[in-house]
Amino acid sequence: MTAEFESIAELLLLILTIVCIVQAVLVGMLLWYVKRVTEFLGSPGGTAMPPPAPPAPAARAPEPTPERAERPDKARAAAASTIPATPAVPASPTVPAVELFGGSPDIQGSIHRLCEKYGLSDFIIATMDGLLVVSLSPGAAEEAARSSELYRRRKKPYGPGVAFLEIDHMGGPMLGIARSDRPLTPDRLREIGEDARKILNWWL
């Protein structure tokens, strides 16, 4: 009888030890997760993406009893209440209002203001045959010819930060070549093309 009682006591002690180990692992994982989230949200370059989940335990332990399972749940609820709210992602800056014609001595001055308005390093207008119409960079005739050839063959621009767009002028298309250090969205390219069309109609 005594041996059977000792066996039951050893079994209960083993179960209690396993439950304590599981509880310690869960609390440690929770503290690690809260620390990572707090550091991530507190960093200046943090984004809205959540931190990676911690690795799962190697061995699956027995399920804890209901009495002990309540404690990690309470700890999770308390920790969740201390996590700061995710900061809102700032909206992209709007395009500044720039007068494209007033004060510009010629078409090149208007193109310069177009580049200032949209943050472009250069903007070239060429005919579909590759003849240069206007540009801010010297020696752009070769680039205009190469770009028009790529566009006619439906090829991609020759380098990063370069985008092609068609500009309607006098009932025919012209080629716009925009160069920027930032990605240009389709909506932004449409805005650039509309302003370029106005510049062509004003000066030519």
Residue with tokens 């540009």: 135
pLDDT in tens, 17-67: 898 898 888 888 888 888 887 877 765 555 445 555 656 655 565 555 544
Q: Which two tokens stand for residue 137?
A: 């960079």
* Residue 135 per-residue DSSP state: -
The hierarchical CATH code for the domain 107-203 is: 3.30.450.30
Residue 44: the pLDDT is: 54
Residue 1: the pLDDT is: 62
Q: In whole numbers, what is the pLDDT of the chain averaged over residues? A: 79
What is the domain partition of the chain in residue ranges? 2-82, 107-203
Residue 51: the pLDDT is: 53
